Amino acid sequence: MDLPREIVKEAAKAENAFIPTKSCKHFEKEYLKFRKWMNEKHANILCEAVVLSFLSEQSTACKASTLWCTYSKLKVMLKIKDNIDTGTFHKVSLLMKQANMGYQPIKAMVFSQQDVNTFLTKADDETFLLMKVVDIFGIFGACRSVEWYNLCTNDVKEEGSVLIVNIKVTKNGKPRIFTIVSSEELY
């Protein structure tokens, strides 16, 4: 099919937008790893058997959660780069489900409200002040690391016993505001 160069360029630009900007390198790395594997195995045709074999081999070296992550990235990249819809690869889906059987994710330790209160009230400010501030912002504002990085002192306003925090750079591109109140005002 002969298309004007501008249309092809615009379509390529639109396709690149399908992959999250922050994750683009990871998606590309996974795709290149798959393509390298294909070359090593002398697989010239990209089909369900090839993807199944690759993921089966990967499943022996990684946990189910990592395998799902690999498959998700590969699925997107195969659709964009090779116009292959792995959603029709039913054997691959079965492999993924089988790899997940019996998998027990490791749960993260969670602090109780009492643990947090004890830390905030009893830990030495000289040593733990930054950790306390991070805790408080995390609890009230669920701040991501990039939000912390971009936070400036002008973004925090004090109004009486309340702090109003303005997060300008967020994951979804929409600024947000949250408040931090004293512990007496919580109860």
Q: What is the pLDDT of residue 10?
A: 87
Over its length of 187 residues, how does the chain's per-residue pLDDT go in tens digits?
678 888 888 887 887 778 877 788 999 999 999 999 999 999 999 999 999 999 999 998 988 889 999 999 999 999 988 989 998 999 999 999 888 787 777 888 888 889 988 998 899 999 999 999 888 888 888 888 888 888 889 999 999 888 999 999 887 788 999 999 876 655 4
Query: How far is residue 151's CA from residue 163's CA, in Å, rounded to a whole number?
Result: 14
Q: What is the pLDDT of residue 186?
A: 54
Q: What is the pLDDT of residue 12?
A: 78
CB 184 within 8 A of CB 160: no
pTM as predicted: 0.62
Q: What is the pLDDT of residue 14?
A: 82
In angstroms, what CA-CA distances link 52 with 49, 88, 116, 159, 168? 5, 12, 47, 59, 44
